[in-house]
Structure 1
Amino acid sequence: MSYLVHPLLKPEAVEKRLFQIDLAARALRGSTLVVMPTGLGKTIVALMVMLARLEKGRVLFLAPTRPLVEQHAAFLRRVLTSPDLVASVTGETDPESRAEIWRSCRIAVSTPQVVENDLLSGRMDLRDVSLVIFDEAHRAAGNYAYVYIAERYRREARDPLVLGMTASPGSEAERIAEICANLGIESIEMKSESDPDVAPFVHHREIEWIKVEVPEQLQKIRGVIDGLVSERMEEINSLGMCRIDPRTSKGELLDLQKRFSSALARGPNQNIFRGISLLAEIMKLKHAVELAETQGVSALRQYLERLAQEARSRGGSKASRRLIEDPRIQHVLSVLKDIDLEHPKLSRALEIIEDQLETSPESRIIVFTNYRDTATALLRFLQANASDAVKPVRFVGQASRENDEGLSQRKQSEILEKFRAGEYNVLIATSVGEEGIDIPSTDMVLFYEPVPSEIRSIQRKGRTGRARTGRVVVLIAKGTRDEAYYWISDRKERTMRRQLQGMAEPLPVDSAVPDTAPISSRASRQISITEICEPDELPLIIVDSRERDMARLLEKTGLRIVLRSLEVGDYVLSERLGIERKTADDLIDSIIDPERDLFRQIGDLARTYDRPLLIIEGQNLYARQVHPNSVRGILATIAVDFGVPIVPTGSIEETAALIALMARREHEAGYRDVKLHGRKTSRTLKEQQEYLISALPGVGPSVARNLLRHFGSVERIMTASEGELMSVDKVGPKTAARIREIVSGEYKG
């Protein structure tokens, strides 16, 4: 065995593989997208390119998650002679420390969101960065931070070079071209497991498909829900605007929703309103069908109970309310409560896992499932029924919801470490586990259900067969969309390989990197705004940290941007001028949901700035099911009572151009003292009491005030009986019962 030799590499730290050296050499000739199966050493390719570029400047290594950042940083520190060359930077690193790290480190491994934040806030620049590595480069689409960073890098760097790495960029030529356009890619280099120079390093991966029968009771429940779907589809067809049938895919339904919304923007139409509402119900019902087919009783029950809870809440959707009020859904809920039946996938998964651990006791197994509820159900099932050899743990994302706490990135890292060490040997993961988990000893990946995405399927399968022979098992419920999803992902994987082979155009060995636009020119470029500011005239604007998309656009106009958490307004242009931005939908939502505190925000803006301004963005201000006079009343109150001017704009680009122009005017007029001031006004005790009581189900602001006037305190309301509650105006039996249920019910978190 031979090893790479370099002054910055420890002896015998990295094995030499010719195909990796060839890829690195090609990547050094021009910005390159390397597409290669997981486990074949994309990080080694990145290391070689990095070592060759370090003499030209600093290196920025980007990865989408904190665990992946820590993984890459640990690898680099392990193989480099000087671990101090490497700094890892995440959101947990405080801003002042980050500024110093950007100035001093040679190799920075970071999440893209942190880099985007610090570029926009002026804590770092990319002028002397000689290489940017984008791991999981397939994410470079839409508004993801990779896109902004790559654009800034091309604009600022003295000698830019980009290396993108992914196992699966997607099956559509347009998507691959978009990724290349966004990253400034000049060539695509692809390696597959069947390539002669790669094959000696590939471990065999056995793939099995195991089919299970859906129990008759679940099939009956599915039939009931399917009937509801058909009814709603027929009603949409009767509106005369389109034709859909049970074979219509989820993607086609989503496209139809967009078309309906676009049509609604041109003017109110009762048929379109009804169509949008019916589509929302269909999407919810189709999800319920999928859960019944592929996940089982507990997942379906939990989903319908969440719908019922949403229907009872004040801000719940009308679609949820109509579904839950349907007698057939009520019947399904009743049946689900009495069924002592689980999907056969649970017992089959247990059998497969125990068989693997009996054959290979040191195995590590990853079970992938699409849904958190299923991950929880499988964890509980294994804990209750599996042998002591099975040591399972749930691995999910950061977001929390009711009765389901997410995992922080720190906790995720801890779980992965314990999984590697063997404290856990079965990792039950949702999509958060699909990218970048470096566990060489994973012997088996179990798909609880197929996924219709070639990217996700490839990522999942790549978790095994990395250091030794691996096993992939896919559970499929017969006669369900499981079967369709399997064939869809298989077809997309084959299409992706064909597309990449057609697009891969390596630069000739002796050629120089062309100055002309690379293959990225085939894809549409981002919208750019006409530059308003002269190079030597750079007005400063403070932008609320939640307005990142706008900050990117404003920066392109020549403004100096500082991201900060603003308590009042969204943009500060000068000591006197503060701006609040609302989309038309935001404004309408504030009418429907009083908790949004629109008037408090406007009042704070008017109190804080001599020149307050409200920008309302979008064309559909009167397109929602809210009476136009309600909208006009809101606008009149803002303009007349609060004295805040209102400026309409048609799009985010138009808003950015307007803000940039006003910032320049303030700058030229001498109002250059841009600093934070103003704080939110705190709720009075009365307002806090009203807010607390109005949060109870079936209780709005008006009823909350009635309850407080009648009982005199929050405490007395909470201890009142149903009869006492019903003596208050506008409180009926249902509301009284729900209040008592919430107040006295046992917490089961």
Structure 2
Amino acid sequence: MKHPLIKPDTVEQRLYQLNLAGKALEGSSLVVLPTGLGKTIIALFVIASRLQRFGGKALILSPTKPLVDQHAAFFKKVMALPEEEILAFTGSIAPAEREKLWAQGKLIVSTPQVIENDLLTKRISLEDVSHITFDEAHRAVGNYAYTFIAEKYFESAKNPHILGITASPGSSDEKIAEVCQALHVENVAVKTEKDRDVRPYVQEKEIEWLQVQLPPEMAEIRSYLEKILDDRLRIIKDLGFSAGSGKYISKKDLLLLQKQLQGEIRVGGDPAIFSAMSVVAEMMKVNHAVEMVETQGLETLRKYLEKLDSEASSKSASKAAKRLMDDLYMRKALYRVKECDVEHPKLELARKIVSEQLKKNPDSRVIVFTNYRDTAEIVANALSGFSGIIPIRFVGQGSRNKNKGLTQKQQAEILDKFRAGEYNVLVATSVAEEGLDIPATDMVLFYEPIPSEIRSIQRKGRTGRQQKGRVIVLVTKGTRDEAYYWSSKNKEKRMLKSMHGLETALTPKVSKKSAALSDFENLPCTPDPQLKTEKIEIEIEKEEEDEEGDGFENRTDLYSEKSSHPETGVNGDGKKSGNEQADINAKERQKTLVDFGTASEDNASESLRIVIDHRETKSGVAKTLDRLGMGLSFAVLEVGDYVVSDRLAVERKRTDDFTSSLIDGKRNLFAQLSDLARVYEKPVLIIEGEDLFTSRQINPNAIYGTLVSIAIDFGVSILHSRDEEETASILKILAKREQTENKREINPHGKKSASTLSEQQEYLISSISNIGPKAARNLLLHFGSVKAVLQADTEELKKVKLIGPKTAARIKEVLESPYKG
């Protein structure tokens, strides 16, 4: 492929890639192509063409730092641009430095969160960006950064053009339509491994599923847990509710029931609803435990049950947690788990499969996928004892309890060593599912099936990239494993059907007079000095509209208010809408309260400003305020989350944060509100969400009491919002009232109150697990100092009110156990 912006002899010419790139250049597009078939090459062709024609910058967005580094290295290798103009942006680069680099960059590869933050803080502008590639485009749903960036891009860019690339956009028409709408997609192009022009480049991929039988000891433990589920199910039915109708009560069934109960609580206050909510909370914990024993093994289950037992014995435990762990069958299950040393048969089978693979081919690379971190650690340890197997655990960044995550730098180092052969088995959670290019991986082992078709496709795509690959799925017979396996398989089929229908629906009614990329199909791979890249560009000549329509074009009504059925093409009035253009712009979506506010008050909004605490950039509130035309400034605020004027500041709490602060004495809600009321004349608390009385099992009277105390004792006004968008609308109204009507200036001020000596002493003692603020005060009053508390023995500790044998033992364990790092 000859092009001034592509280095000669660096890219193999494939006709299907040229064809897809040509389609993508016709307008903002979504390209769906199986993993390993060169989606990045298609992006390269499109980027080169757009930069050649329009100049400016091109932006590539990818969800993780390893992917960003991978793409940046590829484009530096193949693009004929100075190396200093191809840049990789991640959160590790300081914002001020990114602002300087943005000015000099021609091609920027970045995580979306970095670009989102830089847009909100006005460090960068997308005005001169002539193309954006959204890698793993199926993420462009909900509040993910892709949706905000695409919206800002089409608002500000002179020549906007988007390419979304993915192997798996989703199985439902609604999900696919949401992605297309978010990315302003005009064209959809789909290729499968069965297409004639793709087949020569597809490596054979052998997919098999192997069944194991649940051992009797584990079946016994499962039976105890199922007895608890059956008992709670009877209670739910006696209270007048039902949870699912299939063989298994799934997490989805329980979540739907929980949502139903939350809706009924808002309508009325029947005590039976609160009882049912508490029982559902128990069922969700037990249901998870059943999944653990069926699909993971006893070690993973033991860790989970011990965590539940620890939570139930803490001072802040809910009634549901205590009731569950006091259940006879739960005690039996916990006892049997602790005494039983039988491992899940999957573990032995995984050892055998990996060992045989590496004996047969010592240069193999194997990825073992597990759903849970605990299982990843268990599998990695189990494999490490075998000759020829060098495993490494590969997980995300977050750390939970004693399970430490990996930094992005550590992830990148592990992947480099895996590619180089220092490790030959990667035992990974979902963090390794998307996009990682490890060509030598010739086997992927699913430790358990997953119901998500997107994740299943991504996992399978890690093998069979440049050589024959194997995919093996381990399934425990007669368990949720089987249900998950068939669920993802059926969803994959539905996804393919949906994508082909949408591809037909969004085929533009234009003819291409000049040569598109696909016109170069018959050219040899050697560079042709006579080839002019301008030919890639497209001249458009409209055809006459087809009066009758083609039977598929009505599927574009997925984006209109009167949506047509995805299969029949019949709209809400029962009539065909064949006269509507097939290229309805996906930007036209149903109006929301925020849209009306934007349309009606644009001029007024320009003068309104809000100062936002820098930690709030991760919420959707700041993005919505930006959409509403507000002037945003970000700062480190010691008091409040949003400052609206010199006298009015707002603290925002989600319902789960609010209720958790009532249970967890270490949370500082009242200290925050005390500072807010001390510093600002008009303090406001916004409680966001619709599950205030159901997010935790707390007596409603306790919540009402807290709200009364906040309003009366602290003098803080309480406002409620349903979601982040509504919070933003409230903030705009407050800003308008203060700044326009009352002519108030914005003046962030105030510092947190310094903790008194007594508060610091109480904090030190209450930082020990299971010690609440009351117990900490009792200990200090009894012993007189922090030093005396720490030196007391177990018997002395038990004499203090609220300190029982378990808590005393825990205090001594924390103080005296060797530190292991």
State the TM bucket, normalised to the shorter chain.
Answer: over 0.9
Which residue pairs with 1:740 in the alignment? 812
Is the Cα contact below 8 Å between 2:677 and 2:715 reproduced in 1? yes
> Which residue number in structure 2 is paired with residue 472 of structure 1?
471
Q: Secondary structure at the match of 1:528?
A: helix
Alpha-carbon separation, structure 1, partners of 2:341 and 2:98: 54
Matched AA of 1:409: Q
Residues 1:50 and 2:44 are matched in the alignment: no
Match of 2:684 in 1: 613
Confirm or deny: 8 A CA contact 2:226 2:290 kept in the other structure.
Answer: yes
**How does 1:245-256 map onto structure 2 within 5 Å?**
246-256=247-257
Structure 2: state its 5+ residue gaps.
Answer: 513-539, 543-580
- Hey, what's the Cα distance between the residues in 2 that align with 1:470 and 1:732? 58
- What corresponds to 2:115 in structure 1? 115
Show the counterpart of 1:91: 91
CA contact (8 A) 1:177 1:523 kept: no
CA separation of 1:620 and 1:249: change in aligned 2, threshold 3 A: closer
Out of 800, 814, 817, the position equivalent to 1:728 is: 800
CA distance in 2, matches of 1:259, 1:513: 53
Kept in 2, the 8 Å contact 1:314–1:697? The answer is no
In terms of mean alpha carbon deviation, does 514-523 or 85-94 score higher? 514-523
Residues 197 and 626 of structure 1: CA distance in aligned 2, closer, same or farther (over 3 Å): closer
1:273 matched to 2:339? The reply is: no
1:517-547 residue CA offsets vs partner (Å, 9 max, x unmatched): 6363797566634123417833221222343
Alignment map for 1:15-30 (pairs within 5 Å): 15-30=12-27
Deviation per CA, 1:105-145: give whole Å up to 9, x if none.
11111111111111111111211111111100111111111
- What SS is found at the alignment partner of 1:450? coil
Do the aligned residues in 1 keep the contact of 2:244 with 2:253 (CA within 8 Å)? no
Provide the residue aligned with 2:779 in structure 1: 707
1:451-462 matches, cutoff 5 A: 451-462=450-461
Q: Give the CA deviation at 1:576.
A: 3.5
Structure 2 residue aligned with 1:436:
435
1:318 CA displacement: 3.5
C-alpha spacing 1:683/1:103, structure 2 compared with 1 (3 Å): same
2:584 to 518, 526, 541: 518
Q: Using a 3 Å threshold, how does the CA distance of structure 1 residues 527 and 518 change in structure 2: closer, same or farther?
A: farther
Write the distance in 1 (CA, Å) between the matches of 2:230 and 2:302. 21
* Most deviating of 596-605 and 446-455: 596-605
Amino acid corresponding to residue 30 of structure 1 in structure 2: G
Look up the match of 1:262: 263
| Structure-2 change in CA distance of 1:694 and 1:437 (3 Å) | same
Instruction: Decide whether aligned partners of structure 1 residues 141 and 215 sit closer, same or farther in structure 2, where only a CA change above 3 A counts.
Output: same
Shifted more, 25-34 versus 521-530: the winner is: 521-530
Q: Partner of 1:491 in structure 2?
A: 490
Q: What SS does the corresponding residue of 2:666 show, helix, strand or coil?
A: helix
- 1:537 partnered with 2:603: no
Unaligned runs of 5+ in 1: none
Say if 1:618 and 1:203 are closer, same or farther in 2 by CA, change over 3 A: closer
Measured in 1, the distance between the counterparts of 2:483 and 2:66 equals 33
Aligned to 1:31: 28
Determine if contact 2:298/2:343 at 8 Å carries over to the other structure: yes
Shift of 1:736: 2.9
SS at match of 2:750: coil
**Residues 42 and 664 (structure 1), Cα distance of their counterparts in 2 relative to 1, 3 Å cut:** same
Separation in structure 2 between the aligned mates of residue 201 and residue 521 of structure 1, nearest angstrom: 36
Cα 1:100–1:407 change in 2 (3 A) is: same
Of 389-398 and 302-311, the range deviating more from structure 2: 302-311
What is the match of residue 347 of structure 2?
A: 346
Q: Deviations over 1:52-103 (max 9, x none)?
A: 1114121111000011011101100011222222111011110101112222
Match of residue 128 from structure 1: 128
Give yes or no for contact 1:398–1:406 (8 Å, CA) kept in 2: yes
Match of 1:564 in 2: 635
For 2:331, the aligned partner's letter is Q
Kindly, what percent of the aligned residue pairs are identical? 49
> Partner residue of 2:193?
193
Does 2:327 match 1:330? no
**Alpha carbons 2:640, 2:676 under 8 Å: kept:** yes
| 2:163 matched residue in structure 1 | 163
1: CA distance, partners of 2:630 / 2:663:
36
Q: Distance in 1 between matches of 2:340 and 2:267?
A: 49
**In the alignment, is residue 678 of structure 1 matched against residue 750 of structure 2?**
yes
* Residues in 1 aligned to 2:699 and 2:474: alpha-carbon distance in whole angstroms: 51
The answer (yes or no) to whether the contact 2:684–2:716 under 8 Å persists in 1 is yes
| Contact 1:575 1:671 (8 Å CA) reproduced | no
1:568 Cα deviation after fit: 1.2
Q: Distance in 2 between matches of 1:53 and 1:308?
A: 59
Secondary structure at the aligned position of 1:6 is classed as coil
Name the CA shift for 1:268/1:689 in 2 (closer, same or farther; >3 Å).
farther
2:497 maps to amino acid:
R
Q: Is 1:392 aligned to residue 458 of structure 2?
A: no
SS at match of 2:457: helix
CA contact (8 A) 1:26 1:507 kept: no
Quote the Cα distance in structure 1 between the aligned partners of 2:604 and 2:769: 56
Against the structure 1 CA distance between its residues 317 and 523, is the aligned structure 2 distance closer, same or farther, given a 3 Å change threshold?
farther
Per the TM alignment, residue 571 of structure 1 is displaced from its structure 2 partner at its CA by 0.5
Q: How does 1:535-684 map to 2 (within 5 A)?
A: 537-547=606-616, 548-617=619-688, 630-631=702-703, 633-649=705-721, 652-668=724-740, 674=746, 676-684=748-756
Distance (Å, rounded) in 2 between the aligned partners of 1:218 and 1:648? 47
Shift of 1:632: 5.2
Over the residues paired in the alignment, what is the CA RMSD in angstroms?
2.4
Identify if the C-alpha distance between structure 1 residues 352 and 239 changes in structure 2 by more than 3 Å, giving closer, same or farther.
Answer: same
* 8 Å Cα contact 2:605/2:628 also seen in 1: no
Q: Which amino acid aligns with 1:658?
A: I
Is residue 185–residue 518 contact of structure 1 (8 Å, CA) maintained in 2?
no
CA shift at 1:633, angstroms? 4.6
Q: Measured at CA, do residues 367 and 649 of structure 1 come closer, stay the same or move farther in structure 2, by a change above 3 Å?
A: closer
Q: Which residue of 2 aligns with 1:361?
A: 362
Relative distance call for 1:537 and 1:298 in structure 2 (3 A) is closer
* CA distance in 1: counterparts of 2:785 and 2:381, whole angstroms: 43
Can you list the C-alpha shifts for 1:287-339, whole angstroms capped at 9, x where unaligned? 11111112111111111111112222334443332222222222222222222
Q: 1:176 aligns to what SS in structure 2?
A: helix
Q: Show the counterpart of 2:139.
A: 139
In structure 2, do the counterparts of structure 1 residues 632 and 202 end up closer, same or farther at CA, with 3 Å as the change threshold? Answer: closer
Structure 1, 239-248 or 614-623: larger mean CA deviation: 614-623
Which range moved further: 393-402 or 548-557?
A: 548-557
Give the alignment of 1:223-234 within 5 angstroms: 223-234=223-234
**Aligned partners of 1:382 and 1:392 also within 8 Å:** yes
Structure 2 residue matching 1:440: 3-state secondary structure: coil
Cα offset, 1:162, TM superposition:
0.9
**Offset at residue 444 of structure 1 (A):** 0.7
Q: Is the 8 A contact 1:181 1:525 kept in 2?
A: no
Question: Residue 284 of structure 1 aligns to which amino acid in structure 2?
Answer: K
Give me the whole-angstrom Cα distance separating, in 2, the residues matched to 1:201 and 1:526. Answer: 46
In the alignment, what sits opposite 2:545? none
Contact 1:5 1:11 in 2 (8 A): yes
Structure 1 counterpart of 2:548:
none
Aligned match of 1:73: 72
Residues in 1 aligned to 2:213 and 2:426: alpha-carbon distance in whole angstroms:
25
CA distance in 2, matches of 1:289, 1:632: 36
Distance change (3 Å), C-alpha of 1:375 and 1:628 = closer
Asked if the contact 1:178–1:523 (Cα under 8 Å) also holds between the matched residues in 2, the reply is no
User: 1:717 maps to what in 2?
Assistant: 789
- Residues 143-170 of structure 1, C-alpha deviation per residue, up to 9 Å, x if partnerless? 1111111111121112211100100011
Deviation of 1:712 (Å): 1.1
2:698 and 2:288 mapped to 1: Cα distance? Answer: 29
Distance 1:8 1:554, change over 3 A: same
Aligned to 1:473, the other structure's residue is in SS state strand
Does structure 2 retain, via aligned residues, the 8 Å contact 1:541–1:562? Answer: yes
Deviations 1:156-195 (A, max 9, x none): 1122111001000111111101111111111210000111
Aligned twin of 2:4: 7
| In structure 1, C-alpha distance between the alignment counterparts of 2:289 and 2:97, rounded to whole Å | 48
